[in-house]
Amino acid sequence: MQLSRQLQRRAETLLPGGVDSPVRAFRAVGGGPPFVVRAEGAYLWDADGNRYLDYFGSWGPMILGHAAPQVVKAVQEAAARGVSFGASTPTEADLAEMVRQAFPSIEMLRFVSSGTEATMSAIRLARAFTHRKHFIKFEGCYHGHSDALLVKAGSGIATLGIPGSAGVPEETIQHTIALPYNDIAAVEQAFSRYKDQIACVIVEPVVGNAGCIPPNPGYLKALRAITAREGALLIFDEVMTGFRLALGGAQDIYGIQPDMTCLGKILGGGLPCGAFGGRADIMRMLAPLGPVYQAGTLSGNPLAMAAGIATVGTLIERRDTIYPQLEQVAAAVAEGVAGLARKAGVAVTTNRVGSMFTWFFTADPVIDYDSASRSNTSQFAAFHRAMTESGVWLPPSQFEAAFLGTAHGEEEIRATLAAAKEAMDRVAALETH
């Protein structure tokens, strides 16, 4: 990995930590990150020519594998027609129609360029619609890096073990109520304490940013009932789960109709794209129709629309085979590694929903951020290092979900389990305290 080391050293003179997003820096697992030069299917190649089996898939978008021919072709053809206009194009409505087909709860939506923009805008809209200031989020959930949401967040905040972020004034987060996930009593208490003051509840319906944590039975249904009763909006942050867990995301699986949904990642097929949408009466408050301002130079960018249409179009067309296939491969990988941990005497709890999963290095159930945070992160780091050395690249944090896509098949299952057997033996040999 010599060239990657040199590239890291150069990058560090230009980019803080040598990265454009903290979780990429491998700080939680040690060793320097490989520098990727190309990817195809389920694989990444680094600057030194090493090949890696990819289990983070650009943190979710690459459900069809890297360089899927239909996506590459669509982007190439779109680029030849011009890369950005800052004007309306037919393809925005084309992709919006596909989103509405997949998410019947979304009557109208607006495209943005990231999940952060989507959630930030959805909260602004909810506050305007309800004339209320407070909102509820859950510990360990990450909704992007806008100020008011950087409270007890997951993902990089959890990975780096920091409570929030410097530079966020107390005043900005005074209306943010952070509660434990999977605890309905806490939600009831918050609504009675802040009666008629809570604009919305924003939730990762299946948490991915503390590692994968599914909702307890009835939890989402209870959130829906309480918010409806209290006149607060329910926002599903499906940036990660949308098109991932099912074509219609977690709301399809669990049969819940939120008032608004945030999307990203797969929506843009790997290009910068997010969206927020939901009930038309709420969305019509957005400028230029209504008083809520929101804008973006590259919102609805033609290349992102082309990549999204090619990706979501494939998922719509082949939904009956793609999702059962992802389920079968993910079950084989997640449960296979769990079995190897048991054989090696390593305590691992496996959480999985569809093709999103996490091996927590703990013997206890992981149902919220507190229980996730009791995982043995030294063992996770050792496991991650061993897997990377064997050419299997897992997300470099105990508090991230792993993903696989349609390019992962029998050979990838075999290779993963072979690597994991050796890695678990190494973890078992660790004298960890």
Catalytic residues: 142, 237, 265
The answer to whether residue 368 forms part of the interface with ligand KE4 (CB under 6 A) is no
The nearest distance, CB 266 to ligand KE4, in angstroms, is 11
Q: Measured at the alpha carbon of residue 237, what is the angle toward residues 302 and 56, in degrees to the nearest 5?
A: 70
**Of 66 and 143, which CB lies nearer to ligand KE4 in the complex structure?**
143
Query: Of the two residues 273 and 322, which places its CB atom closer to ligand KE4 in the complex?
Result: 273
Q: What's the closest the beta carbon of residue 164 comes to ligand KE4, in angstroms?
A: 15
Among 119, 130, 261, 398, binds ligand KE4 (CB under 6 A): 119
Least distance to ligand KE4, CB of residue 144, Å: 3
Q: How far is the CB of 243 from ligand KE4 (least distance, A)?
A: 13
CA 152 to chain centre: 16
- Least distance to ligand KE4, CB of residue 272, Å: 8
8 A C-beta contact, residue 141 and residue 219 = no
- Give me the residue label for tokens 């996506």: 71
Q: Per CB under 6 A, which region of 8-16, 236-244, 295-303, 414-422 contacts ligand KE4?
A: 236-244
403 binds ligand KE4 (CB under 6 A): no
Q: What is the four-CA torsion angle of 367, 372, 376, 381, rounded to 10 degrees?
A: 120
Q: Which residue bears the tokens 């230009």?
A: 14
Cβ distance to ligand KE4 smaller for residue 259 or 400: 400
Residues in the chain: 433
Q: Considering the complex, what minimum distance in angstroms separates the CB of residue 60 from ligand KE4?
A: 7
**CA gap 202, 150 in Å, rounded:** 13
Residue by residue, DSSP assigns 44-59 as EEETTS-EEEESSGGG
Asked if 139 is part of the footprint of ligand KE4 (rule: CB under 6 A), the reply reads: no
- Please give the Cα distance from 264 to 204 (Å, whole number): 13
Q: Which two tokens stand for residue 363?
A: 């013997």
Which distant-in-sequence residues (6+ apart) come within 8 Å of 186 by Cβ?
Answer: 179, 180
**Shortest CB 223 distance to ligand KE4, Å:** 16
- Judge whether 22 and 391 are in contact, CB under 8 Å: no
* Maximum Cα–Cα distance across the chain: 63
Residues 17-76 that bind ligand KE4 (CB under 6 A): 21, 23, 59
Residue from 314, 308, 378, 316 nearest 346 by CA: 378
Q: Which is nearer to ligand KE4, 124 or 143 (CB)?
A: 143
Residue (252 or 400) nearer to ligand KE4, CB? 400
Part in contact with ligand KE4 (CB under 6 A); list of ranges 183-191, 202-210, 301-309, 353-361: 202-210
Per-residue string for binding with ligand KE4, 260-279, x by CB under 6 A?
Answer: ----x---------x-----
Stretch that binds ligand KE4, among 138-146, 329-337, 356-364, 408-416 (CB under 6 A): 138-146
Residue 67, both tokens: 């360089």
Query: Which span sits near ligand KE4 by CB under 6 A: 32-40, 66-74, 111-119, 303-311?
Result: 111-119
Decide whether 340 or 372 has the Cβ nearer to ligand KE4: 372
Of 99, 409, 40, whose CA–CA distance to 243 is shortest?
A: 99
Contact 56, 395 (CB under 8 A): yes
Closer by beta carbon to ligand KE4, 115 or else 269: 115
Q: Please report how many Cα atoms fall inside a 13 Å half-sphere around the Cα of residue 123, on the Cβ side.
A: 24
Q: What is the CA radius of gyration of the chain?
A: 21
Q: Are 223 and 254 in contact (CB under 8 A)?
A: no
61, 140, 208, 278: residue in contact with ligand KE4 (rule CB under 6 A): 208
Tokens 């040199």 belong to 6
Among 43, 55, 138, 142, the residue binding ligand KE4 under the rule CB under 6 A is 142
Q: Which range touches ligand KE4 (CB under 6 A), out of 109-117, 183-191, 325-333, 373-381?
A: 109-117
Chain centroid, CA 137 distance in Å: 16
The span from the CA of 253 to the CA of 382, in Å, is 34
Of 114-122, 242-250, 301-309, 408-416, the segment contacting ligand KE4 by CB under 6 A is 114-122
Binding residues (CB under 6 A) for ligand KE4: these are: 21, 23, 59, 114-116, 119, 142-144, 155-156, 204, 208-209, 237, 239-240, 264, 274, 400
